[in-house]
Chains A and B, each alone.
Chain A
């Protein structure tokens, strides 16, 4: 394999991080694992590796996906490469007590089993310091609400890729209202066929067109909420 030509150890930190961006871009999971190990050995904190190398690399992938330069298979391969790096970092992040921004319960709605986008959102949210509870696919309303209550989550995230499954998001939101707990949660929705008008119509807090927007929106809604609670 051509990759064997390159000894990642010979790169200085800056070059290595840039190489990691390229390796994420090319979906090279093993190279990412190797680079993560090298940076750890050089004394980098798991948090710095996560944010400066992995999250930044995936941000670039996200931009080029949005701009039609990368397509679904490439994004999936990049996500898998990031996942390989995360698997090494996750236990270390717990040990080193990286900052926790908030907690999110997320899943694809009932009737829908598209999950590539949702998985990407999970990863980027985790990378941004959120604790993420992934409910997987095909989720009925109880899965969202019971888990969010049990886990004391601030955010409920729903994904739908089919026009026929989008309306189910409203079922979840209406159930929250019926139970009188709608305002206890920030509800974020996403998925290719949605748009802002739909999110407004069903009463979600925000529609996020991609994982980067999801992170920004979650952060700002959480801090607004904390501000509001602080002033009470």
Chain B
């Protein structure tokens, strides 16, 4: 059926518009651009020696915790910039968004690190990182590197039907899960998505009573028991400090070579 046929047909306007309506809306909405350069401009006012500064390009879901790690360790020469966390619903967008930020960052920073898991990018993120010579934190997703890879495997073995929460996801569950899956407007889909889940595990980074209450509310929405596992931010902390030591070695080597 051609678009023209769709418009002249005696049906459809009363309905939601089928494909023709959707395509029109898609064109109107346009495609969201990643604003790597805009973000970097904001950083250009930051003081510090450009020859030693590090930028961590990370998922929006990790920014608060990374900033915490930076603050606690006094790693003032490390800055962070975010790629939107909601790209997780369409992981094919992640590698290009990260690559754009890496290329922009390389002009301004001595070192670039990536705070992302594989996150369903079909290995493309790792391919790009290998090309760019940039390292990322180890693990398939943030649940794994917060819990620690072995502990995560153990938790998942205990119950395959586990849904994981982090501080970030507990706080943004409504937007990142309910809204993204259209459960706000189509509650009837709940059992299609979650019918096979048996428990919720809250991997708590920096638990507060308020965050715990959020996790409890999410588990109550699922109608499932909640297990709380305090992970802290050691996964990020160990990674960032180790990567920073490597950067420092590279800085000294570069100075020695001059």
Partner of A22, one of B12, B26, B181: B12
> Is B15 touching A73 in the complex (CB atoms < 8 A)?
no
Could you say which residues of chain B place their CB within 8 Å of the CB of A171?
A: none
> Is A21 touching B19 in the complex (CB atoms < 8 A)?
yes
Partner of B16, one of A19, A26, A112, A161: A26
A144 to chain B minimum Cβ distance, whole angstroms, is: 16
> Is A137 touching B19 in the complex (CB atoms < 8 A)?
no
Could you say which residues of chain A place their CB within 8 Å of the CB of B182?
A: 73-74
Alpha-carbon separation in the docked complex, A119 to B87 (Å): 24
> Is B18 touching A112 in the complex (CB atoms < 8 A)?
no
> Is A163 touching B141 in the complex (CB atoms < 8 A)?
yes
Alpha-carbon separation in the docked complex, A65 to B20 (Å): 14
Stretch with Cβ within 8 A of A (4 or more), from B35-43, B51-59, B120-128, B247-255: B120-128
Alpha-carbon separation in the docked complex, A113 to B16 (Å): 32
Residue of A nearest to B18 (CB): A22
Alpha-carbon separation in the docked complex, A21 to B153 (Å): 43
Alpha-carbon separation in the docked complex, A194 to B122 (Å): 5
For residue A13, CB closer than 8 A to chain B, the reply is no
Partner of A163, one of B5, B6, B26, B120: B120
> Is A72 touching B196 in the complex (CB atoms < 8 A)?
no
For residue A192, CB closer than 8 A to chain B, the reply is yes
Q: A64-B19, A192-B122 are in contact. Are A113 and B161 (CB under 8 A)?
A: yes
A interface size (C-beta, 8 A): 44
- Binary interface encoding of chain B residues 112-150 relative to chain A, with 1 for a CB under 8 A from any of its CBs, else 0: 000001101111000000000000000011001000000
Could you say which residues of chain A place their CB within 8 Å of the CB of B26?
A: 69
For residue A41, CB closer than 8 A to chain B, the reply is no
Residue of B nearest to A136 (CB): B196
For residue A15, CB closer than 8 A to chain B, the reply is yes
Alpha-carbon separation in the docked complex, A94 to B27 (Å): 43
Q: Which residues in window 36-83 of A have CB below 8 A to B?
A: 60, 64, 68-74, 76-77, 80
B contacts with A: majority SS: loop
Residue of A nearest to B124 (CB): A195
For residue B23, CB closer than 8 A to chain A, the reply is yes
B185 to chain A minimum Cβ distance, whole angstroms, is: 9
Residue of B nearest to A10 (CB): B10
For residue A229, CB closer than 8 A to chain B, the reply is no
Could you say which residues of chain A place their CB within 8 Å of the CB of B4?
A: none
For residue A213, CB closer than 8 A to chain B, the reply is no
Partner of B118, one of A22, A64, A69, A163: A163
Could you say which residues of chain B place their CB within 8 Å of the CB of A112?
A: 160
For residue A185, CB closer than 8 A to chain B, the reply is no
Residue of B nearest to A194 (CB): B122
Could you say which residues of chain A place their CB within 8 Å of the CB of B197?
A: 113
Q: Which residues in window 77-108 of A have CB below 8 A to B?
A: 77, 80
For residue B189, CB closer than 8 A to chain A, the reply is yes
For residue B235, CB closer than 8 A to chain A, the reply is no
Alpha-carbon separation in the docked complex, A116 to B192 (Å): 8
Alpha-carbon separation in the docked complex, A60 to B23 (Å): 12
Partner of B11, one of A15, A26, A164: A15
For residue A138, CB closer than 8 A to chain B, the reply is yes
Alpha-carbon separation in the docked complex, A194 to B121 (Å): 9
Partner of B15, one of A6, A70, A195: A6
A209 to chain B minimum Cβ distance, whole angstroms, is: 9
Chain A contact residues, CB within 8 Å of chain B = 2-3, 5-6, 11, 15, 18-19, 21-23, 25-26, 28, 60, 64, 68-74, 76-77, 80, 110-113, 115-116, 137-138, 161-164, 192-195, 197-198
Interface pairs A-B: 7 shortest CB-CB: A22-B18, A73-B182, A163-B140, A5-B14, A138-B160, A113-B196, A26-B16
